[in-house]
Structure 1
Amino acid sequence: MLSLEEGTLAVKTARRVIEEYVRTNKMPNVELPEAFKDLSGVFVTLKQDGDLRGCIGYPYPDLPLSKALADAAVQAATQDPRFPRVRSAELDRISVEVTVLSEPEPLKVKPVDRPGHLVIGRDGIIVERGLYRGLLLPQVPVEQGWGPEEYLEYGCLKAGLSPDAWVDDVTKVYTFQGQIFQETSPKGEVVEEKIDTALDRCEVRK
């Protein structure tokens, strides 16, 4: 777990990396404290006027957090296939969010019981079948108002599978948790987002 001070540093570092890379096409040198040397999964999310502008990251703890953070920041700004590359003129309108992930663990229940073992607002999911894989961060079903079954269906779609693939034994589902730090406005104060608080503001469809 990162402290708020460390989470603030993570967000500010992601922003600095993005701004320098977008303007110069060069990766800046990143030096961070000891806590960032641990292996960790991380995602960087960019939003513009409240809408998604890019989101890429590493689901598994294969890299030190400092490197994964910097790489994810650049990729979210320049390599998300859903969006054009971020331009320098946009930087002052983009808010940065960093989600630090726990290690994914398999959901060891019968496929039909999977919805009952997901906690909306706590669990992120990875749906995997052969070479197909899709990941949704814990905050996504809260923001979209999904219940557990819808969450699994959209996880399957993200993986390029049919929406009911989660009921098959050959489809694997993993869960993880995330610690979210985000700017309250572009270049603004950084806060730790409590997903259960966000859940209170959303209507979750059953």
Structure 2
Amino acid sequence: MISDEAGQYLVNIAKKTILHYLETGEKLELPDDYPEELDEKLGVFVTLNENNDLRGCIGYAEPIEPAIVATIEVAIAAAFNDPRFPKVTEDEFEKLDFEVTVLTKPEIIYVAHPDQYIDEIEIGRDGLIVQKGYSRGLLLPQVAVENALDEENFLEHTCMKAGISADSWMDESCDVYKFQGQIFK
């Protein structure tokens, strides 16, 4: 994936991006000095926490933009466009903890029967995407660990994130994908 140095650079860019947006209302210009490896198209999520509580989390599951560009875009989205939370304010900026997760490309999990998904998922390593029709939910790898979820509960919570019933992963019309993530704080 990417080096620790590049990952820390992304965390700093996420912070600078949000602060710049708070001060000017404008998107941060692409810096000149970023590590060249961040030109690679990668899935990226920016997570904001305040007092260990989720405060915003938005990202790209698919590698559609260079990592540096994706980080700037999703940092703004996590701070100001996550529909679950009000916009981040200048007063709370200093209280935020910043996390950037860089993702591998999601891979569909092929199984003969849906109950075999449980054997194909490793808690702490894999994140999940569940898709049924137009409904799609994603949970990052750290969500299972932070919430002490086993494989079945992780599948159920990913279904609920998609807005479908918790047992939808057992439906053969449902697709389950896994991916891995590098977490930088």
Write the distance in 1 (CA, Å) between the matches of 2:24 and 2:79.
13
Structure 1 residue 2: Cα displacement = 1.6
Superposed CA RMSD: 0.7
In the alignment, which residue of structure 1 is the partner of 2:163?
160
Long gaps (5+) in structure 1: 183-206
Amino acid at match of 2:158: G
Name the SS of the counterpart of 1:69 in structure 2. helix
User: Could you tell me how far apart the structure 2 residues matched to 1:21 and 1:135 are?
Assistant: 27
> Hey, what does 1:70 align to over in structure 2?
72
* 1:25 matched residue in structure 2: 25
DSSP 3-state at the match of 1:99: strand
CA offsets, 1:42-63, max 9 Å, x none?
0000000111000000000011
User: 5+ unaligned residues in a row in structure 2: which ranges?
Assistant: none
- The one-letter amino acid of 1:30's match is L
State the 1:23 CA deviation: 2.1
1:126 — aligned with what?
Answer: 129
Instruction: Return 144-153 or 108-117, whichever deviates more.
Output: 108-117
Q: Which residue of 1 aligns with 2:49?
A: 47
Query: Is 2:11 aligned against 1:3?
Result: no
Residue 28 of structure 1 and its aligned partner are, at CA, apart by 1.3
What letter is aligned with 2:167?
D
Amino acid of the residue matched to residue 36 of structure 2? E
Q: TM-score, normalised by structure 1?
A: 0.87
2:122 aligned counterpart, secondary structure? coil
Distance in 1 (alpha carbons) for counterparts of 2:176 and 2:22: 36
For 1:23 and 1:83, locate their aligned partners in 2 and report how far apart those are by CA, in whole Å.
Answer: 20
What is the Cα deviation at residue 34 of structure 1? Answer: 1.2
* Shift in Å, 1:66: 1.1
- CA-CA distance at 1:33 after TM superposition: 2.3
State how far apart, in whole Å, the 2-side matches of 1:147 and 1:5 are.
32
Secondary structure at the counterpart of residue 173 of structure 1:
strand
2:178 paired with 1:175: yes
Looking at structure 2, the residues matched to 80 and 22 of structure 1 have their Cα atoms a distance apart, in angstroms, of 15
- The amino acid that maps onto 1:174 is Y
